[in-house]
Homo-oligomer: A and B are copies of this chain.
């Protein structure tokens, strides 16, 4: 029987691991049990956001002596997914997922389970292509198996961290006569997220692998996953996959459910998901805080330039990238429903939910 622990920890900056160390020193977190850390860090969430890399390194250096290994080895043992960008009310924080195998018996009701997997490193020219789709799909299946999630219907959230193209990587590909999918770094983030999300959709059976071609990536918005969340980061060369779902092999004190926001202001879908988890959205801030641990979701500026038929300006803004606008908007809508601002809303939802909308999952205490 596995037991998953979930700890949401606030921080004063991307390098502040003090909250986690306090919990470790108090015995509430056993470092050896940590399988994944999902963080929101206060960078721009785009190409030159070094807060993701900095936070990951800070975690690795902090855990290294406690796990008796090097910082580099820690980085390959635990799935670190840092999503940059805390626009608007969003508050930087880390969510630590632990997993322990126990001999406990369990009443049999499904509970939160988690599994992780890594793909091989990608060549620059493979990003944003069907190669990335297939490798990601394979990793999702491995992570499901590790989590003990029997059916794709029990998968509620698949987080992928994927690489992006820097100008160095683009030059490398070109020097070898290869054509990268994008010549701009910011644009490559979207391509990498798109292929990763389609990989999730293939693994969950939401779409057939044969339905995906290089031409449909970031173009055919009818293809999407309702449980995928992909973030691109400059610090990795491979995909990291975290699968969360419900399993009878788990006796965690947590449950998870998911939904899809139709557009950036669709608070109704989130309220409906809370109700499926037996949480009354109107029961007051204190009561909500006791049940809801975190919301994990994706945001994007609707690619047709409109929200419910009315023009938005996010895609024409050359001062603030559209992912930043979308995180600020969706982050505030989510926070207004659940009453807390330390929620995980990540930008760029290509093939993650319908165009302009995005999937989300709620992790709650039973």
- Give the distance to chain B from A234, nearest Cβ to Cβ, in Å: 8
| B335–A265 CB distance below 8 A | yes
Interface string of A180-194 (1 = CB under 8 A from B): 000011110000000
Q: Is A42 engaged at the interface, CB distance under 8 Å to the other chain?
A: yes
The listed residue (B48, B168, B328) touching A88 by CB distance below 8 A is B328
The listed residue (B71, B186, B267) touching A336 by CB distance below 8 A is B267
Interface string of A156-178 (1 = CB under 8 A from B): 00000000001110010000000
CB neighbors of B among A33-78 (8 A)? 42-44, 46-51, 53-54, 57-58, 61, 71
The listed residue (B15, B53, B337) touching A53 by CB distance below 8 A is B15
- Give the distance to chain B from A189, nearest Cβ to Cβ, in Å: 9
| A317–B47 CB distance below 8 A | yes
| B91–A307 CB distance below 8 A | yes
- Give the distance to chain B from A341, nearest Cβ to Cβ, in Å: 5
| B57–A50 CB distance below 8 A | no
Q: Could you tell me the distance between the alpha carbons of A47 and B321 in the complex, rounded to whole angstroms? A: 12
Q: Could you tell me the distance between the alpha carbons of A54 and B55 in the complex, rounded to whole angstroms? A: 9
| A335–B307 CB distance below 8 A | yes
Q: Which residue of B lies closest to A164 (CB)?
A: B316
Q: Which residue of B lies closest to A289 (CB)?
A: B308
**Which of A6-14, A117-125, A241-249, A358-366 lines the interface with chain B?**
A6-14
**A interface residues, how many (CB within 8 angstroms):** 73
Q: Could you tell me the distance between the alpha carbons of A329 and B325 in the complex, rounded to whole angstroms? A: 9
**What residues on B are CB-neighbors of A307 within 8 Å?**
89, 91, 335, 341
Q: Which residue of B lies closest to A333 (CB)?
A: B336
Interface string of A312-350 (1 = CB under 8 A from B): 111111111100111011111101110111100000000
The listed residue (B51, B187, B330) touching A50 by CB distance below 8 A is B51
- Give the distance to chain B from A236, nearest Cβ to Cβ, in Å: 13
| B336–A308 CB distance below 8 A | no
**What residues on B are CB-neighbors of A324 within 8 Å?**
320
| A313–B42 CB distance below 8 A | yes
**What residues on B are CB-neighbors of A304 within 8 Å?**
167, 171
Q: Is A142 engaged at the interface, CB distance under 8 Å to the other chain?
A: no
The listed residue (B14, B91, B305, B316) touching A312 by CB distance below 8 A is B91
Q: Could you tell me the distance between the alpha carbons of A264 and B187 in the complex, rounded to whole angstroms? A: 25
Q: Could you tell me the distance between the alpha carbons of A151 and B49 in the complex, rounded to whole angstroms? A: 45
**What residues on B are CB-neighbors of A184 within 8 Å?**
187, 315
| A310–B342 CB distance below 8 A | yes
| A92–B340 CB distance below 8 A | no
| A61–B54 CB distance below 8 A | no
Q: Which residue of B lies closest to A45 (CB)?
A: B318
**What residues on B are CB-neighbors of A333 within 8 Å?**
332-333, 336
Known: A91-B311, A318-B47, A319-B44. A168 touches B12 (CB 8 A): yes
Q: Is A266 engaged at the interface, CB distance under 8 Å to the other chain?
A: yes
| B44–A54 CB distance below 8 A | no
Q: Could you tell me the distance between the alpha carbons of A42 and B50 in the complex, rounded to whole angstroms? A: 9
Q: List 8 A-B contacts (CB under 8 A).
A: A48-B313, A48-B317, A50-B54, A86-B313, A89-B264, A166-B316, A307-B335, A307-B341
List of 6 A-B pairs having minimum Cβ-Cβ separation, nearest first: A46-B318, A88-B329, A328-B328, A329-B332, A167-B305, A54-B54
Further pairs besides A48-B319, A310-B340: 10, Cβ < 8 Å = A13-B234, A42-B48, A47-B318, A86-B312, A87-B325, A185-B316, A320-B324, A329-B332, A333-B333, A336-B336
